[in-house]
A = this chain, B = another copy of it.
C-alpha cells in the first residue's frame, strides 16, 4: 500500500523482464512477511532460530557444524543464534565426550513447543505469500524455484 497508483507501467521493462529482479522483489516481500510475522508472534526469534530448531527437531542432536551445513547458516552465525536459543532454554549444548572439540546440540521440550508455535506462524506466512497463486500454480512454482535455488544443471 505504500505504492503509488500508476507505478506499474513506470518500472523499466529492462528490469521487469529480468528473473533476478523479480526474484529479489519476491524475496523482499517474503522476508517482509516473515519479519512482521516473527515480530508479532515470534517472541523475538527470527529466521535463523527457526531453521536451527527445525533441523534439531527433525534430525535429533547435531553438532554445530552439522547444523550449519543443513540449514545453510555460517558457523559463526550458528554460534550466536545457539547462544540466544540456549539462554531461553530451548536447547542445550554439551561437549561430545568422544570428540571433545565438538558440541552436541539437543532441543528441549520447551524448544519443541516453541518450534510448533513458529511452525504455525511460518505456515500462515506461506499462505499469505502464495495467495496470488492457485494450488496447482503453487506446486508448479515450488518445483521451479527449487530447481533454480539448487542451480542444478
Contacts and interface: CB of A to CB of B under 8 A. Distances in A.
Given A126-B20, A147-B132, A149-B29, A14 B58 contact: yes
A41 interface: no
Interface residues of A, number: 60
- For the complex formed by this chain, how many copies does it contain in all? 2
Nearest to A14: B54
A19 B69 contact: no
Contacts of A149: 22-23, 25-26, 28-29
Interface of A: 4, 7, 10-20, 22-31, 33-34, 51, 54-55, 57-59, 66, 69-72, 119, 122, 125-126, 129-133, 137-138, 140-142, 144-153
